[in-house]
Structure 1
C-alpha cells in the first residue's frame, strides 16, 4: 500500500480495546482506523480518557486487541513480537527505573537488552544528559527522567518510534530541544507515532494527526485540514448609537453566525479574508471605529475543544466528556479482557 510514494509502516483497522470490570465491559477504543507512512510523524490527540494510550499500547504490541487489525512493519506486533521489537523504540508515560542506579548504569542495562545499541555516551549526548551520567536516578528531576526515558527508546536506532507524552515535565528549553531531536530523527527516516496533550507540539511536529474522543476518531488529517474545518472569528465593539443591525447583511460579509454580548459583536466565518475586508470597508465608508477589533484565524485548539465538547456518542446524542476523576476510578476498577 502506498501513500505519497511511501509504504505504510503502521496500519490500524477497526481497532477495539475492551476492559472488563465490576460494572460490566468498558470499550476504551472503538473502531479506530489510521495509517502512518514511512518517515511520517503522526500525532494522537484527545482529552483524558479518550483512548490515546490504550490505542498506542495495542500498536506497540503490549496487548492483543479485542477486535480489528494492527500491522507494524508488516507484522502483528503482539503475535509476532520477536520480528517487530528489535526495529521499534518505545517511550512510555513512565519508565520506572531502579532509583539507586546511576544514569549511565541505567542506559548500560538497557543497552545490554538491545541489539546493535548505541554507546552509552552517544545515547546520553542525544538527550542532553551527558553531564548527568554519574547521578543516581532518584536524584533526577521529572524532566530529566523523561529525557532518560527517551535515551532508552533511542538505543536501538529504531525504524519506528513510539512517544507517549514525551515532553511532560520538561521546561520550555527541554521541550524545544526534544522537538528538534525528533525533527532530526524524522529527517533521518524514523517514523514517529506521538501522543501529546500539548497542541503546539502536535501542530509544530505532526505531518498528520487524529483527535480521539470517547475512544473514536473524531477528526483526522493534516493540522491545517483539521483546523480548516473550524470557523474563524472576528470580534469588535461598535460605538454608541450603532447596533449589529446597522452592519451590511451578514450573509454578504460571508458570516456563518454571530452573537452579541453587551456592546461586543462576535462573527463566525469560513471566509476570514472576505469577511474582514468587507467589514473594514464598511467601517471606513461609515466613519465608524471598530473598537477592540480582534481577528482570529481558526486554530487547532478550537478544533480540539469543539470536538471534546460537541461530538455525538454512538446513539447520536451529544455529551460532555466524563470528569477525569471518574474516568480514573473506572479504569482503576477494571482489568483487560482479550475478546
Structure 2
C-alpha cells in the first residue's frame, strides 16, 4: 500500500473512531442531516412517480373532429377507417351522433331540456390520438390541415390544454423541489460546518502540537474532511430509509385514492439510481461543509512560540 493511500486510510479510520466514541452527538448530527435530505428526496420521488405514471399521456394530444350534421354515418365511418391508415396515428375512436347524445344526456343533467329539442342536434365525431413521436406542433398542424380539408368536416379542435396544465404543474413542482433542496443543502452545510468547527476547537491543543512538529494544514484537515464525508453518507442513508418508509406508509392510501378515479397510480420507492444520487449529494455536502469550516478555522490556529 502506497504512503498516500495509507495516510488516507488512517485518516478515515481515525475519523470513524472519533464518531464511534461520541455516539449521541454523532446520532443527532446524522439525524438532522437526514431530515434535511428526506424532504426533497421524498418530493422528488413523488414527482418522478407522477411522471412515470403519466408518461404515456404526458405528451399526448387529442384531436376532436366534428362532421357536418348532414354527413351519413356510413361516410363518417369510412373517413374514420381511412384516418386509421395514416402514419403517426395511434388511435381513432368514432362517436356516432346518437351515442354522443346519450353520453351528453347522462353526464350533463340536461335530459329534460334535450327532450324539448327537435331531433338530435349533435354531429358524428372522431377522437384522434396521435402517436407520441408525432405529437409535436408541426405534426399536429399538418394533421389538422389534412382533416380540415375534408368537405364533410365542420370543425377540427386540438385538445392540448390539459397536457399543458399537467406539464406546467409538474414543472412548478420540480422548481419548488429544486429551491427547497438548495435551501436544505445550505442547512446541511451549516450543520456539518458547525460540528466540524466545534471539533476543531475541542482539539486545538492537539492541532497546535501537530503544526509545531511540521504538520501542514492539509495534513491536519484530512481527518475532518473524512468526518464530514461520514456524516454526509450516514445522513444520506438514513434519509433514504426515512423516505422509503414515508412512501411505503403513503402508498396504500394513495393507491386507493387513485383507484377511486380509475387510475393505477402508485408511489415509486427509491431504487439504486436514486440511492446512488442521494449518497453522492450527501457525501459532497458533508465534505464541502467540513472543508469550508476547516479552511476557515485551522488557519486561525498556530502553535504558540
TM-score range, shorter chain: under 0.3
Greater percentage in strand: 1
Using the size of structure 2 for normalisation, the TM-score is 0.21
Greater percentage in helix: 2
Using the size of structure 1 for normalisation, the TM-score is 0.20
